[in-house]
Amino acid sequence: MHTTAYQNHIATLCARMDRALERSGHDHALIAAGVQKMQFLDDMPYPFAVNPHFKAWAPLTQHPDCWIAYTPGAMPVLVYMQPDDYWHLPPAPPSGYWTHSLDVRVVRAAEDATKHFPTSGRIAILGEADAVLPGCVPNNPQPLLDYLHYHRAFKTPYEIAMLKVAQREAVAGHRAAEACFRDGGSELDIHHAYLVASTQTDRDLPYGNIVGLNEHGATLHYQHQQAKAPGHSHSLLIDAGAAHAGYAADITRTHHDGDERFGALVAGVDREQQALAAQVRPGMDYRELHLQAHRRLAGVLREVGVVRMDAGAMVETGVSSVFFPHGLGHQLGLQVHDIGGFMASDAGGTLPKPEGHPYLRMTRTLEAGMVVTIEPGLYFIDLLLAQLKAGPHAQAVDWAVVEHLRGFGGVRIEDDVHCTDAAPENLTREAFAAAH
């Protein structure tokens, strides 16, 4: 069903690579999938992480030692490594919609890949430093990378379709996770429920699930999954995604036990998150959207009774950053934090972050074809609260309200949004709506 969309996707990649090679002064491109890395002083491998440049051309994420060889005007060659092995299950023979757009050549040994590489001219080789074969060492020309990284922001229809499948898988996991939370499950229980419903293993996830009950929701990248459930689960913050054909979903939801004040905070963040997502339109500077998120969240803090300050003053004085210390979001696609979010143009250069906002992951102006996350949040982080309490604006805070909300950790709501020439397409909300 994806054959035509994939063919058009490959045509787009070929056109981009043609221009990138011209820009860098090369005649051919080789793209390494990467190699399996072994643990230090051990014979056990680390989980394989594929080169994102490679999986843009072929939906193969667990296939080390494969290569793409491209010469302008010729069909892209996929050198497909299928070793003879009885210790591990080797990759299946190449099949599926994607094989019709690539000249697939199977090899049994990694070094045999070079038989299918161009033998003359200037060759751009994209990959990690250890993706080395005889006479083939990655050089990663910067002008070529700059061009490809900048244009990766613009998703093809095939890529949007893959992102939508990833959304559906992640949404199934999120619904199961909420049900497990309502049943009193531990963080580990919730994580397992998510994996089963989204039909993934930990190895398949595009990033490690963040599953925080109660105060753990205040740690932005909480990295543990406690096996024992707390005496009472007041709240759950779950930031969890899914990967399909190399493309990622990145979704966060916050659930609670019915507490009125925390519920008002969740509702306020959700309302403002949807308002921000509605502004994912061509011409919107993502930096301005981030600053607008601060003003909107400051208003939520005021209406819930956390801070008695004007919303604008909260932003100007940095008080809003105590409760919202991260960026509004980032580009999404082949990587969870897709590269190129700060680029000034396809010739390189950097667009600066707003002063006082060091953690923003995107500074570009939105254009049709981009997919970005919109993930505002409000948290009660002891480290930052202590600094606020010791500072000049402590009297503007209702510390009794803060103490009540500390036990809930925090709120984050995250959707993945496709910028189009018309109204934005909220991939996440559409997937949740379709699941009911």
What is the DSSP annotation of 246-257? TEEEEEEEEEES
d(CA 58, CA 207): 20
The backbone torsions φ and ψ at residue 246, rounded to the nearest 5 degrees and listed phi first, read: 90, 0
Q: Determine the Cα angle at 354 with ends 348 and 358, to 5°.
A: 85
Residue range 370-377: mean pLDDT, rounded: 98
- The answer to whether 411 touches 237, Cβ cutoff 8 Å, is yes
Query: With pLDDT > 90 as the criterion, what percentage of the chain qualifies?
Result: 99
pLDDT the model gives residue 1: 56
How far apart are alpha carbons 253 and 98 in whole angstroms? 34
pLDDT in tens, 287-299: 999 999 999 999 9
What are the C-alpha distances in Å from 203 to residues 166, 207, 209, 417? Answer: 15, 9, 11, 25
415 is written with which tokens? 């959707």
pLDDT of amino acid 2: 81
Q: For residue range 57-105, list pLDDT tens digits in order.
A: 999 999 999 999 999 999 999 999 999 999 999 999 999 999 999 999 9
- β-pairing, 410-412 vs 377-379, is antiparallel
pLDDT of residue 321: 98
Domain-wise residue ranges, the chain: 3-151, 157-435
Residue pair 331/371 in contact by the 8 Å Cβ criterion: yes
Per the rule left: phi > 0, alpha: psi between -120 and 50, beta: everything else, 260 is alpha
pTM score above 0.85: yes
Are both 3-151 and 157-435 of the same fold? no
Look at residue 31 and give its three-state secondary structure: strand
C-beta of residue 202 within 8 angstroms of C-beta of residue 195 = yes
Give pLDDT, residue 254: 98
What CATH number labels 3-151?
A: 3.40.350.10
* Longest CA span, the chain: 73
Angle between helices 399-406 and 260-277 (to 10 degrees): 90
Q: Hey, what CATH topology would domain 157-435 get?
A: Creatine Amidinohydrolase (3.90.230)
- What does the pLDDT average to over 361-378? 98
Task: Write the pLDDT tens digit of every residue in 242-261.
Answer: 999 999 999 999 999 999 99
Q: What is the pLDDT of residue 199?
A: 98
Strands 123-126 and 28-32: parallel
**Contact present, 47 and 162 (Cβ < 8 Å):** no
pLDDT of 436: 79
pLDDT in tens, 48-69: 999 999 999 999 999 999 999 9
DSSP annotation of 397: B
State what percent of residues in the chain have pLDDT above 70: 100
Residues 278-337: tens digit of each pLDDT = 999 999 999 999 999 999 999 999 999 999 999 999 999 999 999 999 999 999 999 999
